[in-house]
């Protein structure tokens, strides 16, 4: 039997034009129709025909970009706000961890707040008494429970809020991105508690941006896009589809960025450009176009870690040049140079360059770890005197299923002797 059923849930918010933002009693009277003040004149559809069934004991993840309606949906599931149209049915006590410690009063002690918060969440005094020690222990606040909550650090505040909410012992637990705020020792405790809930066959709704958490914890997932259900199904499948969409969106954004940074050969020598802090040099040779491509020569700025890539540089010169070097540098967001090379280091001695030309650097496999990278390109004399240096000319992203660390991912393979038995998890991740 389904624990939660949503049937064509729509949520429409009123959107205020600036005129209506300051709607007042006076203006409502003056306009003659007080009821009109309650009528929205511009609306925003936060949820669009959302339907789903969540079975008892199921862990259900909700993913989507910021503003896709995740929190609105959770609030509707929790009963905090109501759908504009459509129905939502659920059975059993719900506890929503949407904001931890909502309703704590700063002036009174943690002990009193536990009681008050517990009652607000639907417990009786006796039930709280029974669970009080457990709550305090879970929150690790034994020494501070009799101090006013206003003296708590934000971490203590959050821990106490989580401890109370999780001890409500709900049939349905709703968790909205609260795992993002705990410290390294508290998050595993929260995850343990969530696992315990799963073992006890409770229904859990989980919203998070951590795809690994969704894949780890959830049986099924729902991907919301602009308020509508984009996909619903096994969490792995939904997460992959979502990540593919994110990748595609990033690609579009990066291409736009690359197009904006492009300069035509004629305007390259313009005055503004020479003063730009990200470009310098004598301009005897000018780089006027840099692109990243896939082997089919299609522009591409978002890669998987083992994807091949081509960096194509187009340059031109007015006069014949006999001393030149072309180079690139890949930097991560911390400004660390992950890799840098040039034609001189790699033993290509310059002979002559005249007119317009193209240089392509082929990388068979990027082998970078996940992250955003900046590409520097330059041409200079062998002694290092720059002709044209572009700093952070391009931005590209690398995705990886494997959460390895460092700046570089050498090609590698694991070998284990027979005494050490391992089992490879076959998935796309180990592709």
Partner 1 sequence: MIVNQEPRFKGFSFFNRSEYMFKNLATLFKYRSLLQTLVSRELKARYRGSFFGFLWSFFNPMLLMLVYSLVFSYILKQQNPETTPYSLYLFCGILPWTWFASSVLEASNSLMINSGLIKKILFPAEVLPLVNVFANLVHFLFGLPILLLFFIYYNYETPLTPFIAYQHPITWYILLLPVVMLVQLIFTAGLGFLVASLSVHFRDLQSILGNLVTFWFFATPIIYPLSMPGVKDSSFLKSLLHFNPMTHVMEGYQSCLFYGRLFDWRALGNTFLVSVALFFIGYYVFDKLRDTFPEEV
Binding site for partner 1 (CB under 8 A): 13-14, 23-26, 28, 37-38, 75, 78-83, 86-94, 96, 98-99, 102-103, 105, 107-108, 112, 115-116, 119-122, 124-125, 148
Among residues 102 and 429, whose Cβ is nearest to partner 1?
Answer: 102
Closest to 165 measured CA to CA, from 211, 84, 98, 86: 98
Q: From the CB of 99, what's the least distance to partner 1, in Å?
A: 4
Among residues 125 and 200, whose Cβ is nearest to partner 1?
Answer: 125
Among residues 122 and 357, whose Cβ is nearest to partner 1?
Answer: 122
Closest to 61 measured CA to CA, from 196, 180, 234, 244: 234
Cα 203 from Cα 92, distance rounded (Å): 10
Among residues 147 and 365, whose Cβ is nearest to partner 1?
Answer: 147
How is residue 158 written in tokens?
A: 């959050």
Cβ–Cβ < 8 Å for 162, 104: no
Residue recorded with tokens 């990540």: 243
Residues paired with 353 in a beta bridge: 321
Q: From the CB of 143, what's the least distance to partner 1, in Å?
A: 20
Q: From the CB of 268, what's the least distance to partner 1, in Å?
A: 53
Is the four-CA dihedral 152, 116, 81, 169 of positive or negative sign?
positive
Among residues 94 and 158, whose Cβ is nearest to partner 1?
Answer: 94
Among residues 13 and 280, whose Cβ is nearest to partner 1?
Answer: 13
Among residues 148 and 210, whose Cβ is nearest to partner 1?
Answer: 148
Cβ–Cβ < 8 Å for 429, 402: yes
Q: From the CB of 107, what's the least distance to partner 1, in Å?
A: 4
Residues paired with 203 in a beta bridge: 172
Cβ–Cβ < 8 Å for 139, 162: yes
Among residues 127 and 273, whose Cβ is nearest to partner 1?
Answer: 127
Cα 190 from Cα 183, distance rounded (Å): 11
**Residue 329 CA: distances (Å) to CA of 177, 218, 284, 340, 373:** 37, 41, 21, 4, 10
Closest to 378 measured CA to CA, from 390, 363, 362: 390
Q: From the CB of 380, what's the least distance to partner 1, in Å?
A: 58
First to last CA, the chain: 38
**Residue 30 CA: distances (Å) to CA of 15, 33, 210, 311:** 22, 8, 51, 66
Q: From the CB of 91, what's the least distance to partner 1, in Å?
A: 5
Q: From the CB of 13, what's the least distance to partner 1, in Å?
A: 6
Among residues 93 and 225, whose Cβ is nearest to partner 1?
Answer: 93
Cα 7 from Cα 87, distance rounded (Å): 5
Cα 388 from Cα 406, distance rounded (Å): 30
Q: From the CB of 123, what's the least distance to partner 1, in Å?
A: 10
Cα 241 from Cα 37, distance rounded (Å): 43
Q: From the CB of 121, what's the least distance to partner 1, in Å?
A: 7
In 69-197, beta strands by DSSP E: 85-90, 94-97, 172-176
Q: From the CB of 178, what's the least distance to partner 1, in Å?
A: 11
Q: Environment class of residue 313 by beta-carbon count within 10 Å: exposed (0-12), middle (13-18) or buried (19+)? A: buried
Q: From the CB of 89, what's the least distance to partner 1, in Å?
A: 6
Query: How many Cα atoms are found within 13 Å in the side-chain-facing hemisphere of 144?
Result: 14
Among residues 92 and 155, whose Cβ is nearest to partner 1?
Answer: 92
Among residues 152 and 373, whose Cβ is nearest to partner 1?
Answer: 152
């Amino acid at each position: 039997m389904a624990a939660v059923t949503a049937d064509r849930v729509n949520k429409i918010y009123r959107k205020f034009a600036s005129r209506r933002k300051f709607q007042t009693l006076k203006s409502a009277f003056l306009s003659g129709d007080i009821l009109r003040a309650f009528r929205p004149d511009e609306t925003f559809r936060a949820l669009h025909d959302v339907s789903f069934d969540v079975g008892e004991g199921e862990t259900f993840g909700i993913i989507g970009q910021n503003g896709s309606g995740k929190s609105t949906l959770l609030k509707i599931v929790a009963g905090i706000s109501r759908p504009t149209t459509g129905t939502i049915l659920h059975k059993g006590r719900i506890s929503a961890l949407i904001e931890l410690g909502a309703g704590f009063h700063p002036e009174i002690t943690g002990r009193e707040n536990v009681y008050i918060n517990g009652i607000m969440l639907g417990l009786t005094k006796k039930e709280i008494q029974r669970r009080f020690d457990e709550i305090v222990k879970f929150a690790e606040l034994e020494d501070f429970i009799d101090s006013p909550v206003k003296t708590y650090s934000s971490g203590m505040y959050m821990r106490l809020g989580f401890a109370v909410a999780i001890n409500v012992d709900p049939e349905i637990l709703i968790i909205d991105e609260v795992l993002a705020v705990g410290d390294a020792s508290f998050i595993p405790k929260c995850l343990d508690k969530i696992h315990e809930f799963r073992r006890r066959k409770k229904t859990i709704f989980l919203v998070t941006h951590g795809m690994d958490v969704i894949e780890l914890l959830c049986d099924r997932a729902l991907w919301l896009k602009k308020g509508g259900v984009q996909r619903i199904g096994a969490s792995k499948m939904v997460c992959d589809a979502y990540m593919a969409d994110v990748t595609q969106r990033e690609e579009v954004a990066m291409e736009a960025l690359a197009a904006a940074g492009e300069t035509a050969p004629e305007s390259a020598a313009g005055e503004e450009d020479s003063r730009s802090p990200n470009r310098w040099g004598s301009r005897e040779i000018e780089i006027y176009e840099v692109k990243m491509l896939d082997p089919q020569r299609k522009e591409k700025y978002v890669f998987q870690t083992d994807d091949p890539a081509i960096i194509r540089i187009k340059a031109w010169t007015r006069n014949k040049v006999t001393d030149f070097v072309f180079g690139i540098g890949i930097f991560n967001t911390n400004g660390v140079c992950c890799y840098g090379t040039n034609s001189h280091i790699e033993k290509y001695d310059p002979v002559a360059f005249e007119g317009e030309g193209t240089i392509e650097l082929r990388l068979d496999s990027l082998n970078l770890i996940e992250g955003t990278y900046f590409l520097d390109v330059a041409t200079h004399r062998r002694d290092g005197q720059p002709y044209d240096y572009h700093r952070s000319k391009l931005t590209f992203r690398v995705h990886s299923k494997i959460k390895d660390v460092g700046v570089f991912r050498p090609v590698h393979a694991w070998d284990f002797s027979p005494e050490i038995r391992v089992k490879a998890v076959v998935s796309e991740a180990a592709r």
